[in-house]
Amino acid sequence: MRYLLLNKPYEVLTQFTDEAGRATLKDFVAVPGVYPVGRLDFDSEGLLLLTDDKALQHRLSDPRYKVFKTYWAQVEGVPTEAALQQLRQGVPLKDGLTAPGEAAVLPAPAGLWARTPPIRYRASIPTAWLEIRISQGMNRQVRKMCAAVGLPCLRLVRAGLADLRLAGLAPGQWRELTADEVQRLRQAPGDGPAARGPGPPRRAGFGGAAPRPGPRRPRSA
């Protein structure tokens, strides 16, 4: 079986074909038979796992298993403690009330690649970074949560899945998971606030040993 960790670039579809000619996973991953675990929106970036292991795919995608995903959200405005507490407790959306998660103000992530095109910049409106950890997978959930508490999301990066991190992968690069990483994913518990008890979220980062990147395929014209 194959287990690939990809840093999905901005404005790439989480699928392998597109009749409109937009960039897809096929432009970066030339491995047959693998499929994405969950989805990452066209305008979101970061960690995406691809595999042909259907059992693991189900375990990581089904919210009943409460496998947490870590996101870095650059938002418009200054986060208040009340807004952060609402994100932690659950936010009422049209899709329903979100489950409890974790949210904290984050310094600008070190080593984060520049986005092309960059976010819109307005000198009169400050921005901030949040780290948000959730186990659900509602459509555009993190963006909707941020907007609901008055913090429109300008940029969204998935930085972690369970204890997996991007670990230096540039946008469009991928690597194979190690056997130990696969085993840990298979055993990944629901490790959010209910399981671990109160405390600040663990920091996702790009440090650690250099990955063994897979080939990066050029984007189709």
Q: Whole-prediction pTM value?
A: 0.84
Q: Which of 41, 43, 53, 191 is catalytic?
A: 41
Share of residues in the chain with pLDDT > 70 (%): 85
Q: In the predicted model, what is the mean pLDDT of residues 5-14?
A: 97
Q: What is the pLDDT of residues 109-147, one digit of tens each?
A: 988 999 989 988 888 889 999 999 999 888 899 999 999
| Per-residue confidence band for 28, with pLDDT thresholds at 50, 70 and 90 | very high
Q: List C-alpha distances in Å: 26 to 22, 34, 78, 211.
A: 11, 11, 38, 21
- Domains annotated for the chain, with CATH where assigned, are 3-196 (3.30.2350.10)
18 catalytic per annotation: no
- DSSP alpha helix (H) spans, the chain: 54-61, 81-89, 141-148, 179-186, 193-196
